[in-house]
Amino acid sequence: MAAPAERDLDHVGRIMAKWHEARPDLDVSPLGVIGRLHRLAARLTEELVAVYAEFGLGEGEFDILATLRREGPPYELTPRDLGHWTMVSSGAVTKRVDRCVEQGLVTRRVSNHDGRGRVIALTDAGLDVIDRAFTAHLVNERRLVDLLGETERARLARTLESWGRALEA
């Protein structure tokens, strides 16, 4: 069977073809998955942050506000819990929270339970902006996933979940 014409290949396919020529002794098929996921993640991030920017938010601020919002009233967490749920370092949480405090979207106060601890809480302005931004975010995500058929979306979600669980094991 003949190799596909270069014009029929996507960017990653062309890279794989070049590697196959340069190193025919290697199986370059993992590039087909990892390379495409990497490129897709970067492209999706561009699409997502464009919507956050409409609300004056960066990716980090959106993440902090969304994490607090989904906690429910009183919309507050410790910095440690924010780090756990946002999956970033304590330093990154501090920088993100600082930017949100500067914008009046969250407050930072001493914990009622531990005088050494801090609590980060949404302000009314923060609640308003994340409610509007998250609604727009979901519309945007729907637009992006609707580029695939329903069966493809469900299969992809299951595959990604399975792969993620295998990597965490």
Cα 19 from Cα 61, distance rounded (Å): 40
- Which residues have C-beta within 8 Å of that of residue 123, sequence separation ≥ 6? 104, 105, 106, 107
Picking from 3-12, 121-130, 156-165, which range would have the lowest pLDDT averaged per residue? 3-12
Choose among 60, 64, 33, 36: nearest CA to 48.
60
Above 50 in pLDDT, residue 1? Answer: no
Over the stretch 74-123, which tens digit does the pLDDT of each residue have? Answer: 999 999 999 999 888 889 999 999 999 999 999 999 877 776 778 999 99
Rounded (5°) CA angle 36-40-42:
120
Structure tokens at 145: 């996933």
Top pLDDT among 169 and 134 is at: 134
Over the stretch 26-67, which tens digit does the pLDDT of each residue have? Answer: 999 999 999 999 999 999 999 999 999 999 999 999 999 999
Question: Is residue 68 within 8 Å of 106, Cβ to Cβ?
Answer: yes
Name the E strands within 14-168. 76-77, 106-110, 118-122
Kindly report, as residue ranges, where domains of CATH 1.10.10.10 are found in the chain: 56-169
Record: fold of 56-169:
Arc Repressor Mutant, subunit A (1.10.10)
